[in-house]
Amino acid sequence: MPSLKGIRKRIVSTKATQKITRAMKMVAGARLTRAQQRIVAMRPYAVKTGEVLQSVSRTMAAAGESQDEPAHPLLAKRPENKTLFLVFTADRGLCGALNTNINKATERFWREKEGGNVGVSFATMGRKGREYLGRRGGKVLQDFPRIYDGLDLEKARLVSGWVASHFQKGEFDSVYLVFNEFKSAITQKVVVDRLLPLVPVSAQPAEGASPQSDFIYEPNQPALLERLVPMYIEITIYRALLESQASFFGAQMTAMDAATRNAKDMIARLTLEYNRARQAGITKELMEIVGGAEALKE
């Protein structure tokens, strides 16, 4: 049986750990509230930007734009020989399986692409993804360190500018986003979306779809597309960053809540073990005293 001193030390250290996990849970909860407000405000804007881009592309296709020459370089569709994965992970751990899920999904799609003779490279947002891919020999072309610190649209614009310039140079033929979509504090969904090339939708709406409204474009559709396509990439990457940040805080809050409860259960078990050991020690001492007294009577 462990000594009373050893059990006391374990109780003290577990209580200290419980204080830390409880504080981390409270901090993550406060940050989650702000992050959740930002992503809820961003989602409608990102969706509407995509709808406007589709509307412009559809209108230009209906007007008989050349299919051989895309309306915008980022709409160019090439045979997929080289692809880039933008991997969004966290810079820190203590968030359950959040980073593990992203890394495993990335590796799964990586191996699938390689099985189809497609060259795969990576750009990472977050230290955990960079370290995971580095250990497995992944080709990391670019890392954006500490991108979540003071996250704003300028940081998303930095990433989108790098991606767009390399795509137009033909260094890769497609770009995919791998990130956690925030559902709730206890639910995050791994999403793999194609970012580039931006393929315009068909000029004919699908059967049963609502008719599109007629718009007047100023100055003209090509000029609007020239501004709209880069903006759409920026907004999409910014949304992925916000989703990843909110998912991290939600996962961390959930993990620290579970750790706090586990620490509470452990303290209760150790306290019970301590009391039993203490009682056994007292009983042993009493038996020694009684035995000694009986010996003196003889």
Show which residues are catalytic. Answer: 95
Kindly list the distances between the CA atom of residue 1 and the CA atoms of 11, 63, 167, 273, in Å, as whole numbers in the listed order.
16, 85, 66, 9
- Burial class of residue 151, CB neighbours in 10 A (0-12, 13-18, 19+): middle
Q: Which amino acid is at 167?
A: F
Q: Which two tokens stand for residue 277?
A: 């050991």
Q: Determine phi and psi for 162, rounding to 5 degrees.
A: -65, -45
Residue 24 makes CB contacts below 8 A (sequence gap 6+) with 94, 252, 256
Q: What Cα–Cα distance (Å) separates residue 26 from each residue in 173, 206, 225, 256?
A: 44, 48, 45, 9
Helix (H) or strand (E) holding 120: strand 119-125
3-state SS, 43-94, equals HHHHHHHHHHHHHHHHHHHHCCCCCCCCCCHHHCCCCCCEEEEEEECCCCCC
Q: 28, 256 in Cβ contact below 8 A?
A: yes
C-beta atoms surrounding 297 within 10 Å:
5
Amino acid in the structure at residue 128 = K
